Chain A
Amino acid sequence: GDSVTQMEGPVTLSEEAFLTINCTYTATGYPSLFWYVQYPGEGLQLLLKATKADDKGSNKGFEATYRKETTSFHLEKGSVQVSDSAVYFCALNPTDSWGKFQFGAGTQVVVTP
């Protein structure tokens, strides 16, 4: 079945450091790929998405590129802030059972001043 694997956390960084969170997936066809962010005590917020191979999603300084050849959708940000501290989830929307999102386990990011 479809699945998402993302790197374990917590990832601890200093402010202005470079952030990478790895995400790989297993799916048939060409799923849409998403990154959601969850702040403490809140629901999930869409961060960015990509719907086809080689698409790059971007938002608030975060970027991720849909790599079909490596089945990956790694999240990057060039200079993190304390306010980026949160849990980040990679997810896919399968092509053969739309809406049935598969989420990774989440990666906690802690940014220190």
Chain B
Amino acid sequence: DSGVTQTPKHLITATGQRVTLRCSPRSGDLSVYWYQQSLDQGLQFLIHYYNGEERAKGNILERFSAQQFPDLHSELNLSSLELGDSALYFCASSVTQGPEAFFGQGTRLTVV
């Protein structure tokens, strides 16, 4: 157990819908990262938050947004869902300058 908690574990939804994925980082970790992993794209960096502020953005679609709250948990919002958004979404957290990021178990999103 990495100490990073993601909910829900599985999510099935229809095209055009909106979902919210939640992540609670390890106790004391200020950084939260979101990654998307699909079969054809591998593990892709989406966004990084540090202590509530956005620090880096990857190839995140405009339909996707994220935020980190004062209690440090983070949410990833995916809207106008398409079949191609089906993937595993991972959250990871780390200490301020630590090289090691701890990954949660992921949310498997299936868009039908």
Q: Do A and B assemble together?
A: no
